[in-house]
């Protein structure tokens, strides 16, 4: 059984600060702490935010919805926000989600590989808008990479009369 460290080698811990309101409407900090990564195979996820509604509801006390969705990849009706730490030689399988993903490379370098073989090299500070395409991530360096993602549900991509569904697998070899 593998254990997930409380930090990723070579990368700082991710600190999450959550704000809210007093009953009188004054702004306050309701949570301030680091979030430990969890192992997801060839990378580690640091889940930072989750909503089940869009628009999100900022009323009342803060409920950390992340804790109820640790096995889910994204919220089908709201938003998800996470950091992904990718070790040297790590990455992901080919996949498509029914989302629009806003990705920011925080540190390191990563390669986005599309199902036609095109390779897009991203460096720290680069951003990607992933629009429901089949892709995979590969860290082809000898240093850890950290990316941040905000994922929002989207309509399914239509190709002619066919709607493209969520997929998690290697591309077909036809």
Task: Measure Cα distances from 71 to 45, 68, 95, 100 in Å.
Answer: 11, 8, 16, 19
Which of 20-29, 100-109, 161-170 shows the lowest mean pLDDT across its residues?
161-170
For the chain, the structural domain boundaries read 37-168
pLDDT at 35 over 80: yes
Spatial CA neighbour of 11 closest among 77, 107, 100, 133: 107
Give the predicted TM-score (pTM) of the model: 0.89
Of the CATH numbers 2.60.120.10, 1.50.10.20, 2.60.40.10, 3.40.47.10, which one belongs to the domain with range 37-168? 2.60.120.10
Q: What are phi and psi of 68, to 5 degrees?
A: -90, 0
Q: Which residue(s) pair with 145 in the sheet?
A: 86
**Which is it for the CA torsion 13, 66, 89, 107, positive or negative?**
negative
pLDDT tens string 117-157: 999 999 999 999 999 999 999 999 999 999 999 999 999 99
Instruction: Note the pLDDT of residue 42.
Output: 87
pLDDT at 1 over 50: no
pLDDT at 110 over 90: yes
Mean pLDDT of the chain: 91
Q: How many residues does the chain have?
A: 174
Residue 100, CB-side half-sphere exposure with 13 Å CA sphere: 4
CA angle in degrees (0–180, nearest 5) for 57-34-59: 15
Higher-pLDDT residue of 23 and 7 is 23
Residue 170: pLDDT band (50, 70, 90) is low
Task: Give the whole-angstrom CA distance, residue 110 versus residue 107.
Answer: 9
């Amino acid at each position: 059984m593998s254990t997930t460290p409380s930090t990723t080698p070579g990368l700082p811990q991710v600190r999450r600060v959550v704000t809210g309101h007093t009953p009188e409407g004054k702004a306050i900090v309701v949570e301030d702490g680091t979030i430990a990564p969890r192992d997801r195979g060839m990378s580690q996820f640091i889940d930072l935010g989750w909503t089940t509604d869009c628009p999100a509801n900022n009323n009342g006390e803060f409920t950390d919805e992340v804790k109820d969705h640790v096995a889910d990849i994204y919220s089908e009706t709201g938003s998800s926000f996470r950091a992904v730490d990718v070790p040297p030689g790590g990455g992901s399988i080919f996949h498509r989600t029914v989302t629009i993903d806003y990705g920011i490379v925080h540190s390191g370098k990563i390669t986005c590989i599309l199902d036609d073989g095109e390779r897009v090299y991203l460096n720290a500070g680069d951003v990607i808008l992933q629009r429901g395409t089949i892709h995979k991530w590969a860290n082809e360096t000898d240093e850890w990479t950290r990316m941040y993602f905000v994922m929002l549900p989207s309509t399914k991509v239509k190709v002619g009369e066919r709607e493209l569904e969520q997929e998690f697998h290697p591309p077909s070899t036809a």
